[in-house]
């Protein structure tokens, strides 16, 4: 945390809140962009030509990419992060970044197929070694 | 507030307005937005839940004195340890220090008149009570037998009142989220002029870290438990193996919160210990920035180690190795704190008064709890030890030996501030010693019997009658521990009415709450606006100890 | 409640704050902190979705054909519009134009109800197809399962709108898993919409009655932040649930 000043808002002259207001034109512009992007999302889902259309990775990346752009527009303009204090920016960005720590769980699911246990190479990869050990007696 | 100040002069001499005597009606307590009163409400509530959880613990210990069981049927035994775990974890440990001491002290320590959102603060107390009532309702309707961890598929097929209990935990979870939102806004925005980040007491740093963990972790467990409720109620099957779902995913999501929850419990304790040790050693804390940033490091790393609860839950070996490694790394910031506390005492002027005895007890027990944690973080020893009484002893050393001792130490430290009266120092020291002794007699044998193979959550062990010795020892210790917990309850309650009134700073401590604030504080904390000029903890071992011995209210006894 | 600055003109500063700026920034920060928890709240569900999607991609694709992308698209339009009107409401609140602010909030409220109506239609159709993932769930194309009773949701309305029914393909158990996730995600999102409706309605009543609780634009902004978040979730839900690529 780099906030050494207690009230960093004191830097701005008091009462001058007008700079917080999002202009009407910007709101309509962002709305137009959002609607266009939505049309692109739907259009892409049906109209992308064939070699690409059956490429799941490409199609999914495209759809999520557009959704991320839409989310960016909503967060930046509609939710006013662009005009907010640095602290609010940190929290807004931090929340979305922290979401990805959940995906550490994939380290489990992606590495389950290759249990690197020496001596058990011939056991089917999906079975846990313990499950196949014969009772020593 | 201004009205209060004017009235002050017109009252009979010696009468001082404070937050306790401004109004005496029940309504004024139940609708209060004063953070101090809310802290007191929480104090009453968590004491109640702690009492109920202790009864369950006593039943468990009594049952285990015989290898064949003497008191409870197997079903009731399952419900008893579940009730103990649920009440103690969700209704006591997670909230105890932040909600009681944190609510009371945080605004005072940073020089604010109240929390940023006083009404939200009151709402979170009500949500806490509603959640707790639902949990108790589920016990009254027949109980819950899935343990406090609610692993699926047991929790989805169990015929007990799990849904109600989970809804209660869900509501309690959102109560702590609201408290955390309040803490974060308060610490960021409500600091008095001059109160920079590095002038904050370490108590505030640790509560900030705690609030971050609550904010980032609790919603995950809330949604996970919600999914279990949905699966039980509507038959959805997100974790159901029949549909191809993965029950281990529940454990992943559950521990994603519930391991950081351990740090929700212990981080505020670290804050309390930092305050007590520096005060009773009369030295500035050693390595302020290291302790402050190690709190944040613990909060961050605490999120990356949940898998060490799942070494034998068929998660991949690869991930087990990673989690084991990070768990070892996590020991570093905890160790930094312990070393800094001991270094603070070195060449200090140490007073063995009640809060300090609790803090020293904390140090000893936390070291044992932390180091046995390293055994459990090692992949291969964990295979032997997990699911045994070794793990039970380990987490009780951290949670009871760590959190509860720090909580009691904090209560004893700030009791004169909260209620303006002092308790009996003799009884206080005696209780600290009895609790320390009773705790060790209770839980040290559990390490041994756990190592020998006694599984947790079992109440029959007639195949190994030799274990009875350890269990009887443990039960005897728990009786001592129970007496130790009753003692503060009695003499602290007594002190509320008969205790000697004390001045604003009976310990000769530093900090806004001692130096600029009455005991008990007035409704909006400070009579005058606060401007912070000094650094935190500017104790001087030589000068302050002399001054301290001349104090009018001598609660502490002599120097060491 | 005591006030430190009772003589202050204009927006009220509550007793615990020193200045209006401090108060407004605290509220905004608090709301964002809460939204962080909301991100994690839905985040866990998105994680579950991603995991099972990766594992059972083919079955999820086949099951998702039962969803109606046109209805989802309509709801996207509705929510984006409502997001814009909330942004406008905040804009007018900051400028102190009460009538325009109330109009914008009213349009938002209409959109919210519109969203719920469309959602109800979708849920009703799922019920008629036995797609609730509970004991009534039945997935496949056996002969005996054809429903005999003509239903408004299932027959009349779809025929009027020229929506054809899709054959059910794929593994029924995985389909049940998909619909479990679908109903949990959209159900929780719907719950957030309902909470949003309550919040917007309360806000409108308070503004309408010149309540002492509303002294500046901040309450509108906080409700707006919440509503944008609801929109944000849907922005991701729509492509993930309704437009799964093959």
- Does residue B212 sit at the C interface (CB-CB below 8 Å)? no
A61-74 tens-digit pLDDT: 999 999 999 999 99
First to last CA, chain C: 60
Which of A17-26, C105-114, C223-232 shows the lowest per-residue confidence on average (mean pLDDT)? Answer: A17-26
B198 CB neighbours in chain A (<8 A) are 4
Reported confidence tier of residue A116, pLDDT bands at 50, 70, 90: low
ipTM of the complex: 0.90
pLDDT at C10: 66
Cβ-contact B144, B216 below 8 angstroms: no
Contacts of B10 (CB under 8 A, 6+ apart): none
CA distance B132 to B111: 32
Which of B465-479, C127-141, C213-227 shows the lowest per-residue confidence on average (mean pLDDT)? Answer: C127-141
In a domain, B1, yes or no: no
CA distance A8 to A1: 13
> What is the percentage of chain C residues whose pLDDT exceeds 70?
85
Q: Please name which of A36, A67, A74, A45 lies closest in space to residue C67, comparing C-alpha atoms.
A: A45
CA distance B138 to B142: 7
In a domain, B8, yes or no: no
Nearest residue on chain A to B303, judged by CA atoms? Answer: A101
Cβ-contact C177, B244 below 8 angstroms: yes
Q: Which chains touch B (3 or more CB pairs under 8 A)?
A: A, C
Domain that holds residue A30: 23-79
Q: End of a domain among A60, A79, A98?
A: A79
Residues A68 and A28 in one domain: yes
Reported confidence tier of residue B9, pLDDT bands at 50, 70, 90: very low
* Interface contact C80-A77, CB threshold 8 A: no
Who wins on pLDDT, A16 or B305? B305
Q: How far lies B354's CA from each of B410, B428, B429, B502, in Å?
A: 10, 5, 5, 16
pLDDT at C164: 60
Q: What domains can you pick out in chain C, each with its CATH number?
A: 24-143+150-242 (1.20.120.80)
B367-404 tens-digit pLDDT: 999 999 999 999 889 999 999 999 999 999 999 889 99
Cβ-contact C105, C202 below 8 angstroms: no
In a domain, B194, yes or no: yes
In a domain, B20, yes or no: no
Reported confidence tier of residue C4, pLDDT bands at 50, 70, 90: very low
Q: Please name which of B80, B64, B236, B241 lies closest in space to residue B146, comparing C-alpha atoms.
A: B80
Tell whether the model's pLDDT for residue A117 goes beyond 80. no
Domain that holds residue B90: 37-549
Residues C130-134, mean pLDDT to the nearest whole number: 81
Who wins on pLDDT, C226 or A50? C226
C83 CB neighbours in chain A (<8 A) are 31, 34, 74, 78
In a domain, B532, yes or no: yes
* Interface contact A111-B319, CB threshold 8 A: yes
Structure tokens at B469: 């010795």
Residues A30 and A75 in one domain: yes
Residues A101 and A55 in one domain: no
Which of B193-202, B347-356, B530-539, C9-18 shows the lowest per-residue confidence on average (mean pLDDT)? Answer: C9-18
Tell whether the model's pLDDT for residue A10 goes beyond 50. no
Tell whether the model's pLDDT for residue C7 goes beyond 70. no
B180 CB neighbours in chain C (<8 A) are 33
Residues A92 and A45 in one domain: no
pLDDT at C35: 95
Q: Taking CB atoms and an 8 Å cut-off, how many pairs form between chains B and C?
A: 125
Residues C100-112, mean pLDDT to the nearest whole number: 95
Residues A38 and A71 in one domain: yes
Reported confidence tier of residue B115, pLDDT bands at 50, 70, 90: very high
Mean pLDDT score of chain C: 85
In a domain, A91, yes or no: yes
User: Domain with B193 in it: what CATH number?
Assistant: 1.20.210.10
User: Inter-axis angle of helices C57-64 and C172-208, to 10 degrees?
Assistant: 60
Reported confidence tier of residue C131, pLDDT bands at 50, 70, 90: confident
B24-39 tens-digit pLDDT: 888 999 999 999 999 9
Domain total in chain A? 2
Contacts of B534 (CB under 8 A, 6+ apart): B199
In a domain, A42, yes or no: yes
Tell whether the model's pLDDT for residue B465 goes beyond 80. yes
In a domain, A98, yes or no: yes
Nearest residue on chain B to A110, judged by CA atoms? Answer: B316
Tell whether the model's pLDDT for residue C171 goes beyond 60. yes
Q: Which of C129-161 are b and which e, b meaning 16 or more Cβ less than 10 Å from the residue's Cβ?
A: bebbbbeebebeeeeeeeeeeeeebbeeebeee
pLDDT at B69: 85
Which of B8-12, B109-113, C105-109, C235-239 shows the lowest per-residue confidence on average (mean pLDDT)? Answer: B8-12
Residues A61 and A107 in one domain: no
Residues A61 and A27 in one domain: yes
Locate all alpha helices (DSSP H) within B235-316, ordered by sequence. Answer: 247-281, 288-301
Cβ-contact A46, A39 below 8 angstroms: no
Cβ-contact B383, B312 below 8 angstroms: yes
In a domain, A123, yes or no: no
Residues B432-447, mean pLDDT to the nearest whole number: 95
Q: Which of B402-415 are b and which e, b meaning 16 or more Cβ less than 10 Å from the residue's Cβ?
A: bbbbbbbbbbbbbb
Domain total in chain B? 1
> For the whole model, what pTM was predicted?
0.90
Tell whether the model's pLDDT for residue B502 goes beyond 90. no
Residues A64 and A39 in one domain: yes
In a domain, B5, yes or no: no
Reported confidence tier of residue C80, pLDDT bands at 50, 70, 90: very high
Q: Please name which of C12, C8, C7 lies closest in space to residue C213, comparing C-alpha atoms.
A: C12
């Amino acid at each position: 945390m780099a906030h050494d000043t207690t009230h960093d808002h004191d830097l701005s002259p008091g009462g001058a809140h007008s700079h917080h207001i999002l202009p009407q034109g910007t709101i309509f512009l962002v709305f137009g962009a959002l609607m266009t992007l939505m049309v692109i999302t739907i259009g892409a889902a049906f109209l992308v030509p064939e070699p690409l259309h059956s490429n799941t990775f490409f199609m999914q990346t495209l759809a999520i990419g557009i959704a991320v752009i839409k989310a960016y527009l909503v967060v930046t303009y509609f939710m006013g992060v662009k005009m907010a204090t640095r602290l609010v920016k940190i929290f807004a960005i931090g929340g979305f970044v922290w979401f990805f720590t959940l995906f550490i769980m994939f380290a489990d699911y992606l590495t389950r197929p290759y249990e690197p246990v020496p001596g058990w190479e011939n056991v089917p990869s999906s079975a846990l070694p313990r499950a196949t050990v014969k009772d020593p007696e | 507030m201004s009205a209060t100040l004017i009235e002050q002069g017109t009252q009979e001499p010696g009468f001082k307005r404070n937050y306790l005597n401004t109004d005496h009606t029940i309504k004024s307590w139940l609708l209060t937005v004063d953070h101090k009163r809310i802290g007191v409400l929480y104090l009453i509530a968590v004491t109640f839940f702690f009492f109920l959880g202790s009864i369950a613990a006593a039943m468990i210990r009594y049952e285990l004195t015989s290898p064949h069981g003497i008191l409870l049927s197997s079903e009731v035994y399952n419900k008893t340890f579940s009730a103990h775990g649920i009440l103690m974890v969700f209704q006591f440990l997670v909230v105890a220090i932040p909600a009681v001491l944190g609510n009371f002290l945080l605004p005072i320590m940073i020089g604010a008149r109240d929390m940023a959102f006083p009404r939200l603060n009151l709402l979170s107390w009500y949500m806490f009570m509603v959640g707790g009532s639902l949990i108790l309702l589920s016990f009254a309707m027949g109980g819950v037998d899935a343990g406090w961890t609610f692993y699926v598929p047991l929790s989805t097929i169990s015929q007990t009142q799990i849904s109600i209990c989970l809804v209660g935990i869900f509501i309690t979870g959102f109560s702590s989220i609201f408290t955390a939102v309040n803490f974060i806004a308060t610490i960021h925005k409500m600091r008095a002029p001059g109160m920079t980040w590095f002038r904050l007491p370490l108590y505030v740093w640790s509560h900030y870290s705690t609030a971050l963990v609550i904010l980032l972790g609790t919603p995950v467990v809330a949604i996970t438990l919600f999914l279990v409720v949905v699966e039980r109620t509507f038959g959805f099957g997100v974790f159901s193996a029949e549909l191809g779902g993965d029950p281990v995913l529940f454990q992943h999501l559950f521990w994603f919160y519930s391991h950081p929850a351990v740090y929700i419990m212990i981080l505020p304790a670290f804050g309390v210990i930092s305050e007590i040790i520096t005060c009773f050693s009369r030295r500035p804390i050693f390595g302020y920035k290291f302790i402050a940033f190690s709190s944040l490091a613990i909060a961050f790393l605490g999120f990356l180690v949940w898998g060490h609860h799942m070494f034998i839950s068929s998660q991949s070996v690869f991930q087990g190795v990673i989690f084991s490694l990070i768990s070892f790394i996590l020991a570093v910031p905890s160790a930094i704190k312990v070393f800094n506390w001991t270094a603070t005492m070195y060449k200090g002027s140490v007073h063995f008064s009640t809060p300090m005895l609790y803090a020293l007890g904390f140090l000893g027990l936390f070291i044992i709890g932390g180091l046995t944690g390293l055994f459990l973080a090692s992949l291969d020893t964990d295979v032997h030890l997990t699911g045994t009484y070794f793990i039970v002893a380990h987490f009780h050393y951290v949670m009871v030996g760590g959190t509860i001792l720090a909580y009691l130490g904090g209560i004893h430290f700030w009791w004169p501030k909260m209620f303006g009266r002092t308790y009996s120092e003799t009884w206080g020291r005696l209780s600290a010693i009895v609790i320390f002794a009773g705790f060790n007699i209770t839980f040290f044998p559990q390490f041994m019997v756990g190592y020998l193979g006694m599984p947790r959550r079992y109440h029959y062990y007639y195949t190994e009658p030799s274990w009875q010795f350890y269990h009887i020892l443990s039960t005897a210790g728990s009786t001592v521990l129970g007496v130790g917990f009753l003692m503060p309850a009695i003499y602290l309650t007594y002190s509320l009415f008969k205790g000697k009134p004390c001045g604003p700073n009976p310990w000769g401590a530093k900090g806004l709450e001692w130096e600029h604030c009455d005991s008990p504080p007035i409704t909006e904390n400070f009579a005058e606006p606060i401007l912070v000029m000094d650094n935190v903890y500017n104790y001087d071992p030589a000068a302050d100890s002399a001054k301290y011995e001349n104090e009018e209210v001598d609660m502490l006894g002599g120097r060491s | 409640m005591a006030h430190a600055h009772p003589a202050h003109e204009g927006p009220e500063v509550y007793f615990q704050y020193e200045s209006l700026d401090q108060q407004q920034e605290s509220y905004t920060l608090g709301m964002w902190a809460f939204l962080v928890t909301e991100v994690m709240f839905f985040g866990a569900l998105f994680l579950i979705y991603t995991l099972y999607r990766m594992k059972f991609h083919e079955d999820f694709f086949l099951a998702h054909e039962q969803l109606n992308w046109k209805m989802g698209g309509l709801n996207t339009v509705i929510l984006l519009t409502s997001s814009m009107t909330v942004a406008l409401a905040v804009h007018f609140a900051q400028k102190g134009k009460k009538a325009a602010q109330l109009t914008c909030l009213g349009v938002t409220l209409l959109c919210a109800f519109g969203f719920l109506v469309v959602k109800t239609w979708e849920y009703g159709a799922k019920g008629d197809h036995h797609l609730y993932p509970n004991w009534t769930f039945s997935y496949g194309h056996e002969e005996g399962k054809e429903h005999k009773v003509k239903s408004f949701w299932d027959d009349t309305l779809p025929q009027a709108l020229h929506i054809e029914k899709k054959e059910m393909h794929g593994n029924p158990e995985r389909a049940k898993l998909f619909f479990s996730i679908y109903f949990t995600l959209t159900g929780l999102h719907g719950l957030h919409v309902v909470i949003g409706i309550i919040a917007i309605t309360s806000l409108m009543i308070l503004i309408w009655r010149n309540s002492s609780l509303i002294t500046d634009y901040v309450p509108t902004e906080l409700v707006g932040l919440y509503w944008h978040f609801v929109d944000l979730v849907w922005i991701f839900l729509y492509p993930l649930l309704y437009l799964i690529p093959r």
